[in-house]
Structure 1
Amino acid sequence: MSDTVEGRWAEIFGPRYVTVTLILCLGVALFAFNAFLSNTALPTAVEELEGVAVISWATTLYLVFAIVGGAGAALLKQRLGSRTALLASSAVFLAGSLLAANASTMTEVLIGRAVQGLGEGVVAAVCFALIPELFPSRLVPKVFGMQAVVWAVAAFGGPAGAGLLTELVSWRAAFLINVPLVLIFGIMVALVVPARSGPVVTGLGFPGIRLTAIGGGIMLVALAGISSAGVAGALLAGAAVLLTAAVVIDRRSRERLMPPGAFWPDTVVGSGLWMVLLMPIAGATSAVYLVLLLQQLWGYGPTLAGVVGAVMAVAWSLSAVTVANVKRRSTRKLLIRTGPVLVAAGLLGVLAGLEWTSLPLLIIAQIAIGAGFGISNGYLNLTLMESAPDGERDRTSALLPTTQSAGNAIGTALAGLAANSVGFAAATTREDMLVAIVPVFVLGAAAAGLALLAALRTTALVPRAGAVEAGFAAE
């Protein structure tokens, strides 16, 4: 069967692909639900364990170790094979969940969160690498559409479920719920995922310097988000040096973590990775501050504010599903270029909605942001997977979720820096808050503008419509 044949939604749930589809969705669910479950349960945990002062580190350490794990996932997959890499990393995630759930001190919670992040970073990256390996390219947009649906369900169900578990049972139950999910995931992986799809890679050194540079750079980014403006600037500069050094060293290494040309603008993969990084930087603005601002400015309760905030996730899912049948390469390019425009317009619309106290405008703007991500994300990922040489597809695919996580970390830090530099933390009146949030959303829109430039460069380098598109998986 030719890969140019239109893929159907029913096909990914048919006998041939249904188990693989469920495995990949469950891998995403582990990450998505864990994020919302832990964020909801942690306030109660730190109150019981007297660790309020370090609550932010529970998320910071998770994110840093997830990025480090994701950065090394492609190499781990090559050495151990897909099945072993997934089983080992899910076992690490399970160990971290058990450690956090049974913690008697906040230090143990932090260690558990770090271990969770390390395992989940590998799981997410390997799952991404398996998409082009197990699905033909005509079905890849639908796989990404299903993943977007999982995120939307997690955005609504995660906080509600964690709240109920915390109130009716214990905050520890929000971590223990991972146990059956991981066990189901592990059984499905053991039965379905191939042991390996390529030659065994042995005799290569451990990329400790690069992983340390990546982890250190992201840690400096996280620290910048909670530091004063002067210190934050120095920390971000140090992070840029470390992350750039990691890319340069990796480019010259035998056992690369990244595909050749990563973040170099002379290839589709190189320029496309900049868009993968910049889009979550832009989106972090609304994700970090919107729910808080709705409570502070409009007096919304946590539930109502959370529902408004989740509109973006729903719009992302619906738009991703809507465009999943697009086959023309020219239309896919247009969707990739339109995504950053919608995100930029949406961020400015959210700002205007807050300034003018207009809920309809705010909702429309949230829908625009979600649609911007939904229509472009899947086809951007597919374009990078298609453009990667056969021997580099693992590295390219595994780097996508890692780069997105790095973008979220950088965006969160930059948003915090922009807000604090104009006195948001010290603002006590509604007028002061409205003034202080302007640079935050303008910064996000500017990042979306840079993402547009990356999108234009990426799509310009893609072969013209009519070129032969190679399929990923054997038909």
Structure 2
Amino acid sequence: MSAPATTATIWDHQRLWVTLGAVALIFLAAIEALAVTTVMPIVSEALDGEALFAVAFAGTLATSVIGMVATGAWSDAKGPRGALYAAVALFIAGLLISGLALTMHQFLIGRLVQGLGAGGQTVALYVLVARLYPPNLHGRIFAAFAAAWVVPSMIGPFLAGAVAEYLDWRWAFLGVAVLTSAAFVLVAVRLRGVDLGGGEPQDRRALVVRLLLAVVVAVLAVAIGFSAELSPAVGWPVALGAMILIGCAVLPLLPRRTLRAGAGLPSVVLMRGIAAGAFFAAEAYIPYLLMRKYDFSATWAGIALMLAALAWAGASALQGRFGERLGNHRITVIALSALLIAMLCVLAAALFDVSAALVVVGWGFAGGGMGLLYPRLTVLTLAYSDETNQGFNSSALSISDATGSAVAIAFAGLGVASLGGGADAFAVVFAFGAVLIALAIVPGLRLGHAAETPAR
């Protein structure tokens, strides 16, 4: 399948349609992610579910852990084809349920189903890349995935806000479901006959244990989100207890020494979870802050996210081209510095009477930092993997991402609810994000140099 190293590209005739199909799925997932962030303030108000605002994000991320574990095992055992198809089908089903929901709880059910598919799709695509692309192309294909956010970042937030403001928020979900269905047909046709490799026999007992642990992690993460409906005196003990249990349950799903920031792959996986938690917990409240404090419309709040998304895509392209030259330590320092600047900017906006431009420009630094960091961590994960553990390691990276994001968003929602939910209360979210970024320095300096050596 592989062309000679000197001529192989992600767009050569052997990989063209696979690349286009995979990028199309990333593109539509980006549209949906940006749409949810923009329209959720309107959805929570329309369905009388403002107390469950954070659960709409955390719940999807939590159930995605189940999808990641199942898809990782499926891909290791039989290859990524069937796993990818099942994941996309669940993603579409979840969008339809949410788009047709009449109550906030029905909407959340759709988000939970959608999470199963979204998590599985991510892992399946990572394994697909590992099976079809040589190691020297991994940086470029993941940069292409990130670049698939460019057009959504230009039109997605604005379009979602405009749809919610002038038509109905439901079309932000139903429209993506229709487009994803069309893309799914294209992908299925283009992957037909492509050799995706075989699999290895799996320990069924170990798989069942891992799936049960993933369910426990998901349930506990959702429980943290629902604790916002309780009084702070009850909600915080419940949330803290759930977090401790999540830490215990997630251990077998990650490489050994992950929570201790072990050198190499463990630190790669841990850093992904911390950085994701900081970024996505804060971003969930950016449109809310702009609408609540600065009286932005849904359309303009969506536009405010464009700069960060564009910066993410641009930085990812730079990483794909110059990542080896920069090296892991430099990328870590630059990315975390940009993220910290962003957190401090939006924190100042939440606390003081400053221009909304500080939010928009400041959050652009966050997008740039994540654009450098995210694809680099994925490249490192594959470099530390071989054909026997690509599914496990890819799912571990995504599990860390989703679990870190779900727990951080849930705690952010609990913090906002405890402080009364006003614009000033959003400051606790951004301060929390700054603390997480500072903590990410520890694993960030222990990533190792697997990217500089051929994958096994």
Aligned-partner residue type, residue 453 of structure 1: V
**Deviation (angstroms), 1:48:** 7.8
Q: Residues 334 and 246 (structure 1 numbering): CA distance in 2 closer, same or farther, change over 3 Å?
A: same
Q: TM-score, normalised by structure 2?
A: 0.84
Please point out which of 142, 154, 178 is paired with 2:152. 154
Q: Residues 187 and 79 (structure 1 numbering): CA distance in 2 closer, same or farther, change over 3 Å?
A: farther
- Provide the secondary structure at the position in 1 that maps to 2:305: helix
- Provide the secondary structure at the position in 1 that maps to 2:201: coil
**Deviation (angstroms), 1:25:** 1.7
Please point out which of 432, 441, 456 is paired with 1:452. 441
**Deviation (angstroms), 1:357:** 1.2
Larger radius of gyration: 1
Q: Assess if the C-alpha contact under 8 Å between 1:316 and 1:370 holds in 2.
A: yes
**Deviation (angstroms), 1:404:** 1.8
**Deviation (angstroms), 1:186:** 4.1
Please name the residue that 1:339 is paired with.
335
- Provide the secondary structure at the position in 2 that maps to 1:328: helix
Aligned-partner residue type, residue 137 of structure 2: L
User: Are 1:217 and 2:228 an aligned pair?
Assistant: no
Please name the residue that 1:197 is paired with.
197
Q: Assess if the C-alpha contact under 8 Å between 1:223 and 1:235 holds in 2.
A: no
Q: Residues 226 and 106 (structure 1 numbering): CA distance in 2 closer, same or farther, change over 3 Å?
A: closer
CA distance in 1, matches of 2:273, 2:71: 18
Please name the residue that 2:174 is paired with.
176
Q: Residues 328 and 439 (structure 1 numbering): CA distance in 2 closer, same or farther, change over 3 Å?
A: same
Please point out which of 367, 370, 383 is paired with 2:367. 370
Instruction: Deviation per CA, 1:391-423: give whole Å up to 9, x if none.
Output: 2222112332332222222222233344445x3
Q: Assess if the C-alpha contact under 8 Å between 1:83 and 1:190 holds in 2.
A: no
Please name the residue that 2:184 is paired with.
185
**Structure 1: where are the runs of 5+ without partners?**
251-256, 428-432
My pick for the range that moved more, 402-411 or 190-199, is 190-199
Please name the residue that 1:383 is paired with.
380
CA distance in 2, matches of 1:409, 1:281: 7
- Identity rate, percent: 25
Q: Assess if the C-alpha contact under 8 Å between 1:165 and 1:173 holds in 2.
A: yes
My pick for the range that moved more, 294-303 or 371-380, is 294-303
**Deviation (angstroms), 1:270:** 0.9
User: Are 1:319 and 2:315 an aligned pair?
Assistant: yes
Please point out which of 393, 398, 404 is paired with 1:396. 393
**Deviation (angstroms), 1:172:** 4.8
Please name the residue that 1:441 is paired with.
430
Q: Residues 275 and 191 (structure 1 numbering): CA distance in 2 closer, same or farther, change over 3 Å?
A: same
CA distance in 2, matches of 1:55, 1:298: 19
**Deviation (angstroms), 1:144:** 2.4
- Provide the secondary structure at the position in 1 that maps to 2:12: coil
Please name the residue that 1:405 is paired with.
402
- Provide the secondary structure at the position in 2 that maps to 1:391: coil
Q: Assess if the C-alpha contact under 8 Å between 2:271 and 2:440 holds in 1.
A: yes
- Provide the secondary structure at the position in 2 that maps to 1:326: helix
Q: Residues 3 and 281 (structure 1 numbering): CA distance in 2 closer, same or farther, change over 3 Å?
A: farther
**Deviation (angstroms), 1:453:** 1.4
Please name the residue that 1:274 is paired with.
270
- Provide the secondary structure at the position in 1 that maps to 2:204: coil
- Provide the secondary structure at the position in 1 that maps to 2:320: coil
- Provide the secondary structure at the position in 2 that maps to 1:201: coil
Q: TM-score, normalised by structure 1?
A: 0.81
Alignment of 1:7-406 (within 5 A): 11-37=9-35, 58-101=56-99, 108-162=106-160, 172-177=170-175, 178-192=177-191, 194=194, 196-201=196-201, 204-205=204-205, 206-207=208-209, 208-225=211-228, 227-248=230-251, 250=252, 257-326=253-322, 328=324, 331-352=327-348, 355=352, 357-359=354-356, 361-406=358-403
**Deviation (angstroms), 1:122:** 0.9
CA RMSD of aligned residues (A): 3.5
Aligned-partner residue type, residue 198 of structure 1: G
Q: Assess if the C-alpha contact under 8 Å between 1:68 and 1:118 holds in 2.
A: yes
My pick for the range that moved more, 277-286 or 291-300, is 291-300
Q: Residues 340 and 167 (structure 1 numbering): CA distance in 2 closer, same or farther, change over 3 Å?
A: closer
**Deviation (angstroms), 1:314:** 1.4
Instruction: Deviation per CA, 1:330-366: give whole Å up to 9, x if none.
Output: 6343112321122112211333355351455444422
Q: Residues 261 and 188 (structure 1 numbering): CA distance in 2 closer, same or farther, change over 3 Å?
A: same
CA distance in 1, matches of 2:397, 2:67: 13
Aligned-partner residue type, residue 73 of structure 1: T
Please name the residue that 1:254 is paired with.
none
My pick for the range that moved more, 233-242 or 200-209, is 200-209
